[in-house]
Amino acid sequence: PRNRCDLSLPPGSDPPRNLPVAIFVTGGAWIIGYKAWGCLFGKVLSKEGVLVVSLDYRNFPQGRIQEMLEDVDVGIGWVLRNIHKHGGDPNNVCLVGQSAGAHLSSLALLECAERCVLPRGRNGSKASPLGSPPTGWSPTQIKAFVGVSGAYDMLRLSDHLNDRGLHLSLLNSIMSINGRTCLEDISPASRVFTYVEDPAKYKSVVDCLPPVTLLHGKDDDSIPYEHAEEFGHVLERAGVEVDRVFHDGETHTTPLIENPMRGHGDRLSEGVLSVIKPEQVSNVDKNNRRMVPEPLIKLALRVSPF
């Protein structure tokens, strides 16, 4: 029931043709995520000539980590197989995840790479520790991955998230498979660290991963930017091309909500645009206008739980 997506097309009456594509996987603490959270991101990027696809996925308690990952995996595969019918270029697709969406999309990318390359899986069997079905796409079809305010090391983040209100018992339930909590198995950082420890086994996995850009606000209290910095370091040690961009004054939600509503300073859209269309001069500030008065935005930042 949640295998749906929203398409944000460039304005104009002419049918789009061969546009670069951004697949967006929203956050929401694995509980309140919804594809509509990507509407502002889609609105801004579509004006820059990018076709944005916002994926949906089951949230807890409708699904746990396995079901969420399956939905993201299915969504990515659908986009890669069908986006040409909607004017997108299947050879120019960027995968973007925010917060919990960055966790799920990066994990889906690693799962896909391992399934495509390792003959009998990472544990010597065809079955994934997450029980994911065979994928219908390849990580080589993804031009780049952009993680925004992402959760990459669930083991190290669990106590911090508990202090922030996502209680450990609830997190363990969300991140469980067949009644077993598996924070290490579902942590992208832990996955990549195994590539560092056993480079001979995982070299082919690393070789098929796309370049990674990690965007994070230094004022993010929900997921401190140091976690993204450490994830980037592990990726580099494994041999993955990484670009880390950390912004002063940005919180967990400002890149996705408040800045687009201000109509200027939209570093998320500009960062993604620089990855997917590096040759284009950004017109993000020029093409957008303020949607909400600044006092209301500041009030929203004060009451936001994120």
Q: What is the pLDDT of residues 39-97, one digit of tens each?
A: 888 988 999 899 999 999 999 999 999 999 999 999 999 999 999 999 999 999 999 99
Confidence (pLDDT) at 16 = 74
Looking at residue 109, what is its pLDDT? 96
What are the residue numbers of the active site?
99, 220, 252
| pLDDT at residue number 133 | 55
Kindly give the parts of the chain with pLDDT less than 70. Answer: 1, 13, 119-135
User: Could you tell me where the DSSP H helices lie in the chain?
Assistant: 39-46, 65-82, 100-117, 154-164, 168-174, 188-197, 199-207, 225-238, 258-262, 267-276, 284-287, 294-303
Q: Which sign, positive or negative, has the C-alpha torsion 101, 211, 227, 64?
A: positive
pLDDT in tens, 236-267: 999 999 999 999 988 898 888 888 888 887 88
SS3 129: coil
